[in-house]
Amino acid sequence: MRSLNVVGLILWANQIEDASQITGGPDWIHTKDFDITAKTSGPTSTDEVRLMLQALLAERFRLAAHREQRVVPSYSLVVDKGGPKLREVQQEPRRGGMLGWSDGKVTYKMVNHMSQLVSTLSSFLDDRPVTDKTGLTGVYEITLTADMDADQMKRMPQVGMAFTGFGYTSGVFDALKTLGLKLEAGRGTVDFLVIDHVEQPSGN
């Protein structure tokens, strides 16, 4: 793993989609990046690697955390009244996506499940959790293009720097309408991982 902060490591290790579902801990877990190089002794599943990373976080970062549910302001991603405007594809989801920007717009392209779109939306919504309530279960070609202001454009991810999101981006609401989707504001019960203790690791 390259250039990931502790929050990013925790997200992947625990299969948490939204960084806003991790709370507690010092500021450096968001701003300080780490490289992790490891080798398994044989063929290993992704779930087994996640457990190994959990063990590494506990051992090297002294990470201690617990889970709890909270009722918080949130968004629900739902299908708009005209129906979804997405192209479903018969293939496995592609890892990651393509991010680009020009002329005051940011574009994110992906071929994935709705869960990946929900995870991406957290970068545009100022840490308010998003829940998938579309009922769409397939793999889709998704192109999300949102208008951004000058300050938000300055927060574009840079090489070697941790990306903490764009902040609240009103343009994402219109962007979703072009996909036949919309966000409904409300309150919901969300699972949180609460960091009780974490330390910066010593050198190798």
Kindly indicate the confidence band of residue 157, based on its pLDDT and cuts at 50, 70 and 90: low
Q: Which of 7, 6, 19, 8 is nearest to 192 (CA)?
A: 19
Residue 73 CA: distances (Å) to CA of 33, 36, 64: 29, 35, 26
Kindly indicate the confidence band of residue 164, based on its pLDDT and cuts at 50, 70 and 90: low
Query: Which has the higher per-residue pLDDT, 29 or 101?
Result: 29
Contact 164, 138 (CB under 8 A): no
74-85 per-position pLDDT tens digit: 899 999 999 999
Residue 1 CA: distances (Å) to CA of 13, 27, 35: 12, 21, 6
- The pLDDT assigned to 97 comes to 81
pLDDT at 160 over 70: no
**Measured over all CA atoms, what is the biggest interatomic distance in the chain, rounded to whole angstroms?**
56
